[in-house]
Amino acid sequence: MELFRALLASDGSRFFAAFERVLQGHEIETEARAVGFGVSPDKFVAYRFIWFEGLALLRLAERAGLRSDAPFLYCPPLARVAMTMECDNDWALPFGAGAK
């Protein structure tokens, strides 16, 4: 809750301190799942190294005027770069008889 209160208050020092605490919890959970049995490596690999929720929180912070260039585990710098061009239909791949 502190993370969201700090975000709403646009308090950068509070937000990033709370973000680090949440990140530590995510790390503990992720590493436990990584060494546990029953986790399919091919389905878990993206979640093992990238924290999608953390990236979203950092993007929300940037939109609120809070910025940190500090490296955060599971939030790689390239995933934090703002898009500079639109990508219409980048998810659509042609298939079937007419695909090239």
pLDDT tens for each residue of 46-80: 888 899 999 999 999 999 999 998 999 999 988 88
Q: How many domains does the chain have?
A: 1
CA distance 82 to 100: 31
Residue 94: inside a domain? no
Q: Which residue has the higher pLDDT, 31 or 56?
A: 56
- What are the CA-CA distances from residue 73 to residues 27, 50, 85, 89 (Å)? 8, 8, 27, 30
User: What's the confidence (pLDDT) of residue 75?
Assistant: 94
Residue 91: inside a domain? no
Domain of 38, in residue numbers: 2-80
Residue 98: inside a domain? no
- What are the CA-CA distances from residue 26 to residues 20, 65, 89 (Å)? 10, 24, 32
